Amino acid sequence: MANDKEFFRFSNETDNLAFKPDDLLECRRIVDDVIDEFPGTIVYPKAFNREVTCDGPLFELDPQTGYAIDCAGRHNGTHKTILSTLKQSKNKCCMPNIDCAECRLLATVLPSRLMPKDRDAQSAQTVRDWLNICQYWSWFYLNEPYQQIA
Protein backbone atom coordinates (compact mmCIF):
# COMPACT_ATOMS: atom_id res chain seq x y z
CA MET A 1 0.00 0.00 0.00
CA ALA A 2 1.08 3.56 -0.48
CA ASN A 3 2.48 5.64 2.36
CA ASP A 4 -0.43 7.06 4.31
CA LYS A 5 1.81 9.91 5.55
CA GLU A 6 0.94 8.97 9.11
CA PHE A 7 3.77 6.62 10.06
CA PHE A 8 2.45 3.91 7.73
CA ARG A 9 -0.57 3.30 9.89
CA PHE A 10 -3.23 1.82 7.67
CA SER A 11 -5.72 1.12 10.41
CA ASN A 12 -8.11 3.57 11.95
CA GLU A 13 -10.47 3.66 14.91
CA THR A 14 -13.10 1.52 13.24
CA ASP A 15 -10.92 -0.65 11.02
CA ASN A 16 -8.02 -2.18 12.91
CA LEU A 17 -6.56 -5.41 14.26
CA ALA A 18 -7.78 -4.99 17.83
CA PHE A 19 -9.78 -8.01 18.98
CA LYS A 20 -13.52 -7.51 19.15
CA PRO A 21 -15.66 -9.59 21.56
CA ASP A 22 -16.29 -12.29 18.95
CA ASP A 23 -12.58 -12.46 18.14
CA LEU A 24 -11.78 -12.95 21.82
CA LEU A 25 -14.22 -15.85 22.07
CA GLU A 26 -12.80 -17.43 18.94
CA CYS A 27 -9.32 -17.01 20.36
CA ARG A 28 -10.42 -18.64 23.62
CA ARG A 29 -11.90 -21.61 21.78
CA ILE A 30 -8.83 -22.15 19.61
CA VAL A 31 -6.40 -21.86 22.52
CA ASP A 32 -8.51 -24.27 24.62
CA ASP A 33 -8.44 -26.74 21.72
CA VAL A 34 -4.66 -26.48 21.47
CA ILE A 35 -4.31 -26.99 25.23
CA ASP A 36 -6.40 -30.18 24.93
CA GLU A 37 -4.53 -31.39 21.89
CA PHE A 38 -1.02 -30.92 23.32
CA PRO A 39 -1.35 -31.32 27.10
CA GLY A 40 2.30 -32.25 27.57
CA THR A 41 3.55 -29.24 25.63
CA ILE A 42 1.25 -26.30 26.24
CA VAL A 43 1.57 -24.64 29.63
CA TYR A 44 -1.36 -22.28 29.83
CA PRO A 45 -4.22 -22.69 32.29
CA LYS A 46 -7.67 -22.62 30.76
CA ALA A 47 -8.76 -20.44 33.67
CA PHE A 48 -6.30 -17.76 32.55
CA ASN A 49 -7.31 -18.18 28.93
CA ARG A 50 -10.93 -17.66 29.97
CA GLU A 51 -10.09 -14.52 31.94
CA VAL A 52 -8.02 -12.77 29.32
CA THR A 53 -10.54 -13.46 26.57
CA CYS A 54 -13.45 -11.92 28.50
CA ASP A 55 -15.02 -8.88 26.96
CA GLY A 56 -14.39 -5.64 28.85
CA PRO A 57 -11.63 -4.39 31.12
CA LEU A 58 -9.48 -6.94 32.94
CA PHE A 59 -8.72 -4.43 35.70
CA GLU A 60 -10.74 -2.43 38.15
CA LEU A 61 -10.72 1.14 36.89
CA ASP A 62 -10.74 4.37 38.80
CA PRO A 63 -13.91 6.11 37.59
CA GLN A 64 -12.22 9.53 37.73
CA THR A 65 -9.06 8.75 35.80
CA GLY A 66 -9.77 5.47 34.05
CA TYR A 67 -6.54 4.13 35.53
CA ALA A 68 -6.33 0.53 36.68
CA ILE A 69 -6.20 0.42 40.45
CA ASP A 70 -5.28 -3.26 40.71
CA CYS A 71 -2.53 -3.46 38.10
CA ALA A 72 0.78 -4.91 39.29
CA GLY A 73 2.68 -2.74 36.83
CA ARG A 74 4.69 -0.25 38.81
CA HIS A 75 3.13 2.83 37.30
CA ASN A 76 1.28 5.25 39.52
CA GLY A 77 0.24 7.72 36.84
CA THR A 78 2.42 10.55 38.17
CA HIS A 79 5.40 10.08 35.86
CA LYS A 80 5.55 11.65 32.40
CA THR A 81 5.72 9.56 29.26
CA ILE A 82 6.63 11.42 26.09
CA LEU A 83 5.45 9.62 22.99
CA SER A 84 7.13 9.47 19.59
CA THR A 85 4.79 12.29 18.60
CA LEU A 86 6.64 14.37 21.24
CA LYS A 87 3.34 14.78 23.05
CA GLN A 88 2.80 13.68 26.62
CA SER A 89 0.81 10.49 27.04
CA LYS A 90 -2.41 10.82 29.00
CA ASN A 91 -2.31 7.15 29.94
CA LYS A 92 -1.18 5.75 33.25
CA CYS A 93 1.36 3.43 31.75
CA CYS A 94 4.67 4.08 30.00
CA MET A 95 3.65 1.76 27.19
CA PRO A 96 2.29 3.90 24.37
CA ASN A 97 -1.17 3.60 22.90
CA ILE A 98 -2.55 1.32 25.58
CA ASP A 99 -5.07 2.39 28.11
CA CYS A 100 -6.04 0.45 31.17
CA ALA A 101 -9.59 -0.28 29.97
CA GLU A 102 -8.29 -2.33 27.07
CA CYS A 103 -5.01 -3.58 28.45
CA ARG A 104 -4.26 -7.32 28.05
CA LEU A 105 -0.51 -7.23 28.51
CA LEU A 106 0.69 -10.54 29.87
CA ALA A 107 3.59 -8.91 31.73
CA THR A 108 1.18 -7.03 33.98
CA VAL A 109 -2.07 -8.99 33.79
CA LEU A 110 -0.46 -12.22 34.99
CA PRO A 111 1.43 -10.82 38.02
CA SER A 112 -1.66 -8.82 38.93
CA ARG A 113 -3.49 -12.10 39.45
CA LEU A 114 -1.18 -13.13 42.28
CA MET A 115 -3.34 -10.96 44.50
CA PRO A 116 -6.58 -12.94 44.91
CA LYS A 117 -9.91 -11.31 44.20
CA ASP A 118 -13.16 -11.98 46.03
CA ARG A 119 -14.39 -14.04 43.11
CA ASP A 120 -11.42 -16.41 43.54
CA ALA A 121 -12.86 -17.58 46.85
CA GLN A 122 -16.37 -18.34 45.60
CA SER A 123 -15.96 -22.11 45.32
CA ALA A 124 -13.40 -24.91 45.38
CA GLN A 125 -13.17 -24.62 41.59
CA THR A 126 -12.45 -20.88 41.62
CA VAL A 127 -9.71 -21.46 44.20
CA ARG A 128 -8.23 -24.20 41.97
CA ASP A 129 -8.41 -21.87 38.97
CA TRP A 130 -6.63 -19.13 40.87
CA LEU A 131 -3.92 -21.51 42.12
CA ASN A 132 -3.36 -22.71 38.55
CA ILE A 133 -2.91 -19.11 37.42
CA CYS A 134 -0.41 -18.54 40.24
CA GLN A 135 1.41 -21.72 39.26
CA TYR A 136 1.54 -20.49 35.69
CA TRP A 137 3.13 -17.28 36.94
CA SER A 138 5.81 -19.21 38.89
CA TRP A 139 6.50 -21.42 35.86
CA PHE A 140 6.70 -18.41 33.57
CA TYR A 141 8.83 -16.16 35.77
CA LEU A 142 10.67 -18.51 38.14
CA ASN A 143 11.01 -21.61 35.97
CA GLU A 144 9.22 -23.69 38.59
CA PRO A 145 7.51 -26.90 37.42
CA TYR A 146 3.87 -26.46 36.46
CA GLN A 147 1.48 -29.08 37.77
CA GLN A 148 -2.11 -28.36 36.96
CA ILE A 149 -4.46 -28.76 39.93
CA ALA A 150 -7.49 -30.57 38.53
Task: Output the CA angle 40-105-45, nearest 5 degrees.
Answer: 25
- The single-letter DSSP state of residue 102 is G
Q: Which of 47, 68, 110, 133 binds ligand SF4 (CB under 6 A)?
A: 68
Least distance between ligand SF4 and beta carbon 28 (Å)? 20
110 in contact with ligand SF4 (CB under 6 A): no
- Per this entry, what is the length of the chain? 150
Beta-carbon contacts of 99 under 8 Å, excluding residues fewer than 6 positions away, are 66, 91, 92, 93
Q: Indicate whether 92 belongs to the interface with ligand SF4 (CB under 6 A).
A: yes
Distance CA 28, CA 30 (A): 6
**Interaction of residue 73 with ligand SF4, rule CB under 6 A:** yes
Q: Which residue is nearest to ligand SF4 (CB)?
A: 93
Any contact of residue 31 with ligand SF4 (CB under 6 A)? no
- 98 touches ligand SF4 (CB under 6 A): yes
Please identify which residue in 89, 108, 132, 135 interacts with ligand SF4, judged by CB under 6 A.
108
Q: Which residues of 123-141 are buried (b: 16+ CB within 10 A; e: fewer)?
A: eeebebbbbbbbbbbebbe
Question: Does the protein bind ligand SF4 through residue 103 (CB under 6 A)?
Answer: yes
Site membership for ligand SF4, residue 89 (CB under 6 A):
no
